[in-house]
Chain A
Amino acid sequence: MTINWRKAEFAFLRFWHAVAFGSFTVAYFTGDEDTYAMHLFAGYLLLGTVALRLVLALLAPARSPLRLHRPSLGGLLEWLRTRTGRSPLYAWMAAILLPAIGLSALTGVGADSWTWLEKPHEALSETTLWLVLAHGAIVAMLVYGRRLWAKRAAAALLAAFALSATAVPGPAQAGEPARDAIMAGYLQEARRADPAFPGFSPERGEALFRARNTHNPELASCSTCHTADPAATGRHAKTGRPIEPMAVSKNPKRFTDPEHVEKRFRRDCEAVLGRACTPTEKGDYVAFMASR
């Protein structure tokens, strides 16, 4: 029985692509505490897939579809001019995507042991997502580009993309929906106690932040741990652990997770004030931090 190697290699390439695409998709959507095990599995699978592709490209004989071709800028310009022959874009896409995906996966492996790699890993993965989407669009255009419907669809997609890119959200403090929802909740509670409540005040929040209290001499003020400057990195008074800045301009994630916000108010108001904070105090505090 003679094996049609070319067919086998192409079939393998399609299978390989399916695994890569599938594991990237799963990894992208499971990058969360709740689905961490799945994220790890998909990430490691993706890393192995990329490594395998590179190994096979090195070992494959000449003319095999498993080979990776060196991208050429001159070739690309030539092709753009004449539009004949196999597009150099394929070589360029492989040359860009494989390292991007590989690096995303590698920083993920590193982030498992060195947590400072988490932010670079996230940033790289988000960038790689856009590269993957662009890759899909380019391949679609290369395969179907001649058809009129494809040209129209591409134009429409480009317009939609341009429009969404221009709708850039304003500064973090202005209208972060999760934070607004938390504030709205406190406003509702405050209004329940006093229907004529005029609204939160950053000035009152600042006074609350800086006040010297008598309940616990070691933790006399919020500023004892968070320091006098909300934009500075704080320090846990007992353990010395660094505390990320409270100021929203420095730390846009502040006051966006309602469970976390409530937990910290519960613990820290008790520790510093010796009682729970009222909804007014909570709202004032968040308003103050959002203004810094």
Chain B
Amino acid sequence: MRIALVSLATLALTLASPAPSRADDDDNVPPVRDPLTRKECGECHMAFQPAFLPARSWEAIMKNLSDHFGEDASLPEDKTRAIRDYLVANAGYPRRLAPNATPLRITETPGFLREHRFSEAEWRKPSVGSKSNCPACHQGAEAGIYDDDDD
């Protein structure tokens, strides 16, 4: 009994810290874990999970922050670099994306378009406002969960 105890103790102590599961199924992606990215990219819109775009898209966006879809989103060089590194390291491989296509908007990727086939009027509802307002319909958007939308 005691030998079992000591063995258990030793085994438990030598096991690595359990890392949170990164398994993502069809609609769910790993959440934004980097606090800097979540803070800086989450001020004006939700910090989009890097898995939704390929690395080359994130590179293009981070290279042009002073004209970020019409807004000045520029940051000090060190923060820009840190965020770009995180986004590129955690970028995804969106399905059915042409190998030379570099979408700058997640809302223009084939996966998004396939899942959001409804009237443009939906986006203009007061509760939604814009296509970048994922949490308006997806309760778990900030956590990377998109398979339980409101309707």
Contact = CB atoms under 8 A, between A and B. Distances in A.
A48 B16 CA distance: 10
Given A5-B2, A239-B133, A48 B12 contact: yes
A46 B71 CA distance: 43
Contacts, number: 77
A238 B31 contact: no
Nearest to A225: B44
Interface in A50-81: 52, 55-56, 59-61, 66
Interface residues of B, number: 37
Interface residues of A, number: 32
Contacts of A52: 9, 12-13
- Dominant secondary structure of chain B at its interface with chain A: loop
B2 A61 contact: yes
A185 B104 CA distance: 39
A241 interface: yes
Contact of B17 (A12, A45, A115): A45
B130 A238 contact: yes
Interface of B: 1-2, 4-6, 8-9, 12-13, 15, 17-18, 20, 31, 33-36, 38-39, 43-46, 71-73, 75, 128-130, 132-133, 136, 142-144
Interface of A: 5, 8, 12, 33, 36, 41, 44-45, 48, 52, 55-56, 59-61, 66, 109, 112-115, 235-236, 238-241, 263, 266-267, 270-271
12 contacts: A33-B35, A41-B17, A55-B12, A59-B8, A114-B142, A114-B143, A239-B130, A240-B129, A241-B133, A263-B75, A267-B72, A271-B72
